[in-house]
Structure 1
Amino acid sequence: MTGSERAQLAFTQDRLGWEPWLAPLTTEELTDEHYEALVDKARAKSPYFLLLARDPAILHARTNTDNDIFHNTDGGLPRAERELAATATSRRNGCVYCASVHARFAAHYSKRGPDVQRLLDEGVHAPQDGRWQAITDASVALTATPEEFDAAHIEALRVAGLDDLAISDVIHAAAFFNWANRLMLSLGEPVKEPAP
């Protein structure tokens, strides 16, 4: 794929590929330590995770953090809204790959595909209903710079019905993906997924 073809990738709910600019490990190079760091052996098919596997301790901590933010069901936000926070963050940061992944999950779990697509198409200022708007606005403020996130965002989240644990989930999902987007954007680029 040429550079101009890569530049044409738009925000989408479609599956995308990702190409690293540095050589990832090959599956033949993976040790038991690497597989433990991957947490899920299926990640060994991902060039992103194979690249991060070069530092297994950090990958292990990163993956456990990611899993706890998005898969912990002990209260807090529903999964759809955690994914919405990650999608808004990724859309604000320009991470086409991460936005596609989390937009698919947000649409799947919420059954609100058109609302998710509007966020992708029109950007982070696209109108949403009160609760989704509060989550999007808080996520975007944290993404731009933490100082932009203030008491008004907390109040909007409370008015939208979020309790302390749910607000914490918004903050963690946005903060984690703010970091994860920047890491992914500095290590490679999204590409069209090859046809099966």
Structure 2
Amino acid sequence: MTDQVLEHDLEEPNTFTQEMVGWQPWLPPMLEADLTERHWEALIDKGRSKMSYFMLLARDPDILEYRTRTDKDIFYNPDSGMPRAEREFAAAATSRLNGCIFCASVHARFATQHSKRFDEVQSLLDKGVTVRIDERWDAITDAAVALSSTPPTFAEAHVEALRAVGMDDQAIADAIYAISFFNWANRLMLSLGPTTVNEQR
């Protein structure tokens, strides 16, 4: 790992948005020309070689692969359980609570894409996790707050609230996975670099 710290003279956004924003690392990401076969395997998607975040994480390809496969299984495996829109909404709510503008923008867009509920998703970004939307999305937001707080306050009552709005055991597990993964991912991204107003990632 390099000991070089990058400096950025880039404007940082100060509001949550569904628009595209960027992110820049504090440490140099790998160069595409330096990637080995193992790095390409760890990236999973070759297009991620164009994204600074994944190219920084590629410095440890084993961890990157574990992280990416976990992410994909949580968000791209909707054969049963929680609908994709709600997995994305859970990630957006967690990111909103944790103050990660970049992650919130990405997953709010996905939540809107899959639910067609732009205004409701935007209200989460505008008003924060105290916003009330409907019983089901409110239960997801409340679970996100409880799981992501320090210390966590997630309890049986949150499980029962999710069950009361029609979620079965698999859907509840999916909510917990999506929230927990992004509670960790937000902290990682926030510590590794700033969100920027441009679209470079």
Smaller-chain TM-score range?
over 0.9
Taking the aligned partners of 1:20 and 1:94, their CA distance within structure 2 comes to: 17
**CA gap 1:38/1:194 in 2 versus in 1, 3 angstroms:** closer
Query: Which residue is equivalent to 1:139?
Result: 144
- Aligned to 1:21, which of 26, 37, 40? 26
- Aligned to 1:93, which of 79, 98, 105? 98
Secondary structure of 1:104 counterpart: helix
Identity over aligned residues, as a percent?
Answer: 60
Per-residue CA deviations over 1:94-148 (Å, capped at 9, x if unaligned) read 0000000000000110000100000000001111100000011101110113630
1:55 and 2:89 aligned: no
Taking the aligned partners of 2:17 and 2:111, their CA distance within structure 1 comes to: 12
Greater helix share, structure number: 1
List runs of 5+ in structure 2 lacking aligned partners. 1-7
- Aligned to 2:195, which of 176, 190, 196? 190
Paired letter, 2:145: V
Moved runs in structure 1, 4+ residues, more than 3 A? none
Per-residue CA deviations over 1:33-87 (Å, capped at 9, x if unaligned) read 1110000000000000000000000000000000000001220100000001000
Taking structure 1 as the reference length, the TM-score comes to 0.95
Taking structure 2 as the reference length, the TM-score comes to 0.93
Taking the aligned partners of 1:147 and 1:63, their CA distance within structure 2 comes to: 25
| More deviation, 146-155/49-58 | 146-155
List runs of 5+ in structure 1 lacking aligned partners. none
Taking the aligned partners of 1:66 and 1:126, their CA distance within structure 2 comes to: 27
Query: Which residue is equivalent to 2:3?
Result: none
Aligned residues: 193
Taking the aligned partners of 2:96 and 2:66, their CA distance within structure 1 comes to: 25
